[in-house]
Structure 1
Amino acid sequence: MIGSKFDTPQNRFIVLFVGLFLIFYYGNLMVWSLVSPNGKHYNEFVDAHLNYIGGMRSILVNLTVNSLKLLGYKVIYNQDSIRVIGRNGILIAYDCIGMGVMSFFTAFTIAYPKPIKIKVIFLIAGIVVIQVLNICRMCLLALYWHKPQVRSIDHHLVFNVVIYAVIGVSIYFYTKGSRANTRNAKD
């Protein structure tokens, strides 16, 4: 009887989505704890050979720096911070990389019933859009963020609201085609 409740496509989607999200989200946090040198669970091997989070941060820092240079700004940077000469600086922490947002988006895309080719295209396009918006955010913060003047604004919250709105709209159109196809098949 209990098994039959999970036999519907909706229930399979929900269980798969929640399960994948939890695996991705907490898996990323686990890896982060293993690659953080000051962390209590630091593992030198994982940091040296499996640190995809550091790789993501490096890509984001380099793309943000190159975007700022392309706009004509002089930039000083290292592996986790960016400073625009005559402007401001930002520290690229784990929360800035977007792993939680990408975990949600990836779990949804994999769990939703669509052909694999469409899933792969949607997943790649979505992650690219998420990171392009993230790079734009980092550029704006490096240029205009004056922390003492804007204490009441949490830029992570603002970014999450914007990015989840973009994801919501994209998911609407991604799932809309499935519902139309399902309705046409029933007619």
Structure 2
Amino acid sequence: MVCLMPSKPTDSSQPVHLVIMGVSASGKTTLAERLAEVTGFPYAEADDFHPESNKQKMASGHPLTDEDRWPWLHSLADWMVAHAESGESSVVTCSALRHSYRDVLREADGVHDGRVLFVELDAPAPVLLERLNDRSGHFMPASLLDSQLDTLEPLTGDENGLTLDATVDPETLVAEVLAAAGLPPAVPGTGVSGDLTGGVPA
């Protein structure tokens, strides 16, 4: 685990928005769904915010341009801000490949004294390619992996976040994210994070 910027302590009035990021097949959905289950936070999958034109473009083997991405990113940021304004935390998945893309999602930072924590999942290219080839029914073809890896700008020291080994088992990753976010660990035998009230740490 590489922690780029220590997370600030969180209290019951401060939302925390966990953005699980990385290239396709890095395990974003698996980790995010488990975090949402453990914390009870509202959960959003960035893929669901893509317009059909973006999905068709990727399915045909063409990488998205920034012009394609900006409206999509702002839609996801609006969802995060809406929950932040209600005092709610959230868990989202988003490739968030560039620093500038993550800047859009940071619109939720500071809303209701909340904060955005990026969790970058990192795995070797051969592992990612094998995962892509093994899955079906997704609009993202394996042929676009190289484009995503070329676009990826890893988290930097000025960003609140951590980088995790995407080949590690999900339960270990969940524990590391909860610790980095200052959230209580999952209660053994329940799969639920302890001492959570209203979706934020008590």
Decide: shared fold, TM above 0.5. no
Q: TM-score, normalised by structure 2?
A: 0.24
The answer to which structure has the higher helix fraction is 1
The structure whose Rg is larger is 1
Structure having the larger proportion of residues in strand: 2
